[in-house]
Amino acid sequence: MSNQIRTRIAPSPTGNLHLGTARAALFNYLFAKKHDGKFILRIEDTDLERSDPRFEKDILEGLRWLGITWDEGPINPTQPPLKIRGGKEGLYIGKFGPYRQSERIETYKKYLQKLLDENKAYYCFCAESELEKERESQKTVGAPPKYSGKCANLGAQELKDLKKQGKKSVIRFRIPKNRKVKFKDLIRGDLEFDSNLIGDIVIAKDLNTPLYNFAVVIDDYLMQISHIIRGEDHISNTPKQILMQEALGFPTLEFAHLPLILGPDRTKLSKRHGATSLNEYKKTGYLPEAMLNFMAFLGWNPKTKKEVFSKEELVAEFALTGVGKSGAIFNIERLDWINGLYVRRMGIDKLTELCVPYLVEAGYIQKIPNSKFQIPNKFQIQNYKMIKTDKKISFKDLEKVIALEQERIKKLSEIPKVLDFYFKKDIEYEPDLLIWKKTDKNKIRKNLEILQKFLESLPEKDFEKKNLEKKIKNLIAKEKMGVGEALWPVRVALSGKQGSPGPFEIIEVLKKERTLDRIRGAILKLSKNIP
Ligand code: GLU
């Protein structure tokens, strides 16, 4: 076996990509890349009833979105688009494939047979109801549940008879007695388990249906995995897997068990705390760079003050020695903070491109079919129809609108709400919102009227922040208006909001006609509201 570092993520496609799996994948990826090793993706779909190609697709797409690309796996990660599996197999990448357990049944069968032949595994005919009773009585005397070993020494004739009767059976691995199973966990240090506390475990339902604990041992060996980095919830499986490696004559490998991800209340992260599937974070408009950063800190401490890392920097700085034993607290505010940082750093063209789907979904814009040839940067030439106002907007103008909020939003899904005033025809707000502090209503209305007249007199080309700001500030000084008394109502008249971008920024995107319509609307509101 070579000395190359080979790590793996081995998800079971029984649900969407879980945050915990994504974090484990990241740590495996970083560790492998840091040591010029290989990162392998293996789909553990031995549970055919619960496995679903839809979930496999979600897992693969999620990892790819995060940029956690595998060197070996069931498909090539660089080949878009990912198709839902079906029919044609054998498209895997890597020389140890196939990488789906459901496609490796013949291999497991060989090793199962070997264990049976060597009497290291045996058929067990105990019915579930019997086992249940056994567990119950162990419970009443306070003993940990453990298989009694009733079928461990069936004679050849007995076995034949039971089979003949058509009695259902499973295959159990014979756990050697009186063994201290020791291993050095790269995160948790020396660990020791007493083999007498582990009952003979079921490793297959039959020769064609292996179970996790067995298949994982075979695959990690055949795929030449050097390090198993996985969640702490698998610690109790490790001694069982080590004993099977020994029984099969496989060399043992390194283990590192990652701390659990906990919610802010320090209980295991679950739906109760919010989204646990990566997909939901993606839909909410978190960026992959931010997710990567955030997940790296779920258990790992770089031991510097540095808080933001690119993927390459993570690869360079990651070390298992920086991973702690205690639970990693999931803090959504931190994720929001990092995401906001990446949103601010992003080019406005890219940000706009990413925000478009949210505006489409909110029913604010739709693509105007483009008959032109596909031009490389096709987003830049795309035009949209604004559904509520029936006006056209170019990608370039959309960039200006999105730019209004680039500094403020934390995640992309906030965009439709914070910019609704732009996309809506009419905005709704309470007239009182127009009042600056304790100013008199009449005064506010008068100020708006002065500003209205002034804006009416300006040519369209002056509706641009740079010129307008100076001109309006001069007007405010000339008319001896208070700055708050003049600009607060304008901003509210344009946005309908307590908080929004500044009035000049909004005027620049609304332009003359829409700006004046809204100021007139505000004046009307105040007139109606005056006793
Ligand atoms: N299929 C197992 C899981 O999804 C993999 C555990 C392991 O990494 O060994 O939990």
Is residue 531's pLDDT more than 70?
no
Q: Closest residue (by CA) to atom 4 of ligand 1?
A: 11
Is 408:415 a contact under the CB 8 Å cutoff? no
Find residue 61's DSSP bridge partners.
Answer: none
Confidence (pLDDT) at 379: 76
Q: List, in order, residues 6 or more apart from 267 with CB less than 8 Å away.
A: none
pLDDT in tens, 283-321: 999 999 999 999 999 999 999 999 999 999 999 999 999
Distances (CA, A) of 168 to 122, 132, 163, 511: 13, 16, 8, 77
Whether 10 lines ligand 1, by a CB cut-off of 6 Å, is yes
Residue 176: CB atoms within 10 A of its CB come to 14
**Residue with CA closest to ligand 1 atom 10:** 11
Which among 48, 230, 237 is the best mutation to test ligand 1's pocket, defined by most ligand atoms within 8 Å of the CB?
230
Rounded to the nearest 5 degrees, what angle is found at the Cα of 203, between the Cα atoms of 199 and 207?
140
Give the N- to C-terminal CA distance of the chain in Å, as an integer. Answer: 89
Strand-strand pairing, 6-9 and 38-41: parallel
Ligand 1 and 12: CB distance under 6 A? yes
**Dist. CA 338 → ligand 1 center (Å):** 29
Which atom from ligand 1 is nearest to the alpha carbon of 231? 8
pLDDT at 80: 63
- Whether residue 44 has its Cβ less than 6 Å from ligand 1: yes
Looking at residue 155, its pLDDT comes to 93
pLDDT mean over 436-442: 91
Q: Is the pLDDT of residue 107 over 80?
A: yes
Residue 504: pLDDT above 90?
yes
Please tell me the total number of residues recorded for the chain in this structure. 531
Bridge partner residues of 190 (DSSP): 184
Residues of the chain above pLDDT 90, percent: 89
* E runs forming strands in 125-231: 170-173, 180-185, 189-194, 201-206, 209-210, 227-231
pLDDT confidence band for 87 (50 / 70 / 90): very low
In the predicted model, what is the mean pLDDT of residues 42-62?
94
Is the CB–ligand 1 distance for residue 100 below 6 Å?
no
Give pLDDT, residue 84.
58
Which pLDDT value is given to residue 127? 93
Q: What DSSP string runs through 365-422? A: EEEPP--S---TTGGGG-EEEETTTTEEEEHHHHHHHHHTTTTT-SSGGGHHHHTHHH
- Ligand 1 atom closest to the Cα of residue 237 is 9
Residue 429 has pLDDT above 70, yes or no: yes
Pocket test for ligand 1, best of 234, 235, 254, 277 (most atoms within 8 A of CB): 234
User: Which ligand 1 atom is at minimum distance from the Cα of 11?
Assistant: 4
Percent of residues, the chain, with pLDDT higher than 70: 95
11 lines ligand 1 (CB under 6 A): yes
Distance, CA 18 to ligand 1 centroid (Å)? 12
Q: Work out the angle between the directed axes of helices 465-478 and 503-528 (0-180°, nearest 10).
A: 50
Ligand 1 neighbourhood includes 234 CB (under 6 angstroms): yes
Give me the pLDDT at residue 374, please. Answer: 60
pLDDT digits (tens, 9 = 90+) for 349-400: 999 999 999 999 999 999 998 756 566 667 778 899 999 999 999 999 999 9
State yes or no: pLDDT of 469 exceeds 90.
yes
Is any ligand 1 atom within 6 A of the Cβ of residue 230?
yes
The minimum-distance atom of ligand 1 relative to the CA of 10 is 5
- DSSP symbols for 19-63: HHHHHHHHHHHHHHHHTT-EEEE-B----TTT--HHHHHHHHHHH
pLDDT of residue 247: 98
Residue 457 contacts by C-beta under 8 Å, 6 or more apart in sequence? none
Sequence-ordered list of residues with C-beta below 8 angstroms from that of 157, at least 6 positions apart, any chain: none
- Dump strand ranges (E) for 197-336: 201-206, 209-210, 227-231, 254-258, 261-262, 328-329
**pLDDT at 81 exceeding the cut of 70:** no
**Bridge-partner residues for 170, per DSSP?**
124
Q: Is the CB of 216 under 6 A from ligand 1?
A: yes
- Kindly report, residue by residue over 227-250, the tens digit of the pLDDT: 999 999 999 999 999 999 999 999
Residue 193: strand pairing partners:
181
277 secondary structure, DSSP code: B
Residue by residue, DSSP assigns 68-134 as ---SBBSS-TTSSSPPPP-S-----BSTT---BGGG-HHHHHHHHHHHHHTTSEEEE---HHHHHHH
* 7 and 47 Cβ atoms separated by less than 8 Å: no
Q: Calculate mean pLDDT across residues 424-435.
A: 96
Ligand 1 center to 131 CA (angstroms): 25
Q: Taking all residues of the chain, what is their mean pLDDT, rounded to a whole number?
A: 93
322, 326, 331, 337: CA torsion to nearest 10: -10
pTM of the shown model: 0.93
Q: Which among 14, 21, 212 is the best mutation to test ligand 1's pocket, defined by most ligand atoms within 8 Å of the CB?
A: 212
Parallel, antiparallel, or unpaired: how do β-strands 38-41 and 391-394 relate? unpaired
CA distance 45 to 10: 10
Backbone phi, psi, residue 75, to 5°? -140, 165
Nearest CA to ligand 1 atom 5: 10
Dist. CA 509–CA 507, nearest whole Å: 5
Helix, strand and coil in the chain, % to nearest 5: 50, 15, 40
Q: Is the pLDDT of residue 53 over 70?
A: yes
DSSP state for residue 155 in the 8-state scheme: -
Task: Tell me, using a 6 A CB cutoff, whether residue 435 lines ligand 1.
Answer: no
State residue 376's pLDDT score.
61
Rounded to 5 degrees, φ, ψ at 366 are -145, 150
Copy the structure tokens of residue 323. 């991973």
Predicted local confidence at residue 377, as pLDDT = 65
Dist. CA 120 → ligand 1 center (Å): 24
